[in-house]
Amino acid sequence: MRQVVDLQKDKSFDALGVELLSISPDPLSAWQGEAAQLGITLPMLSDAGNRVASAYGVMQWAMPTGEPGHTFVLVDRAGTAVWIHDYGAMEHGGLMYVPPAELDLLIKQQLSKA
């Protein structure tokens, strides 16, 4: 959850004007308490059955447990994925944390293409 906390606090990310959603296949009850303790205020959603993750192509990098990894998807107002980058898959380094400045730069680049 550190990733969510750090992005939520990042002024550069906030200046991008994108909305951050944290989506997990776990039920809300599994992490609502920890999210509240950490002061997370952004929308945290449960994607039981990975329907949203599958619709956006995230499951192509599923972990051996069948869960989505650490994937970022930039979706435009029409609901189309305009950028997707997975960090959690072993072929991409298996990262479960990405420095906000790195994400800020990548998203800014994508937004400038729109």
Under the banding of pLDDT at 50, 70 and 90, the label for residue 1 is confident
Under the banding of pLDDT at 50, 70 and 90, the label for residue 113 is confident
> Tokens 């599994």 appear where?
30
Structure tokens at 100: 């906000």
Task: Report pLDDT for 77.
Answer: 85
% of the chain exceeding 70 in pLDDT: 99
Tell me if 100 sits within 8 A of 12, measured CB to CB: yes
Model confidence over 6-49: pLDDT tens digits?
999 999 999 999 999 999 999 999 989 999 999 999 999 999 99
Over residues 45-73, mean pLDDT: 92
Q: Which residues contact 45 (CB under 8 A, 6 or more apart)?
A: 21, 22, 23, 24, 52
* Residue span of the structural domain in which 84 resides: 2-113
Over residues 61-72, mean pLDDT: 88
Find the CATH number of the domain harbouring 83: 3.40.30.10
CA distance 39 to 68: 24
Total domain count, the chain: 1
Model confidence over 48-57: pLDDT tens digits?
999 999 999 9
Tell me if 55 sits within 8 A of 80, measured CB to CB: no
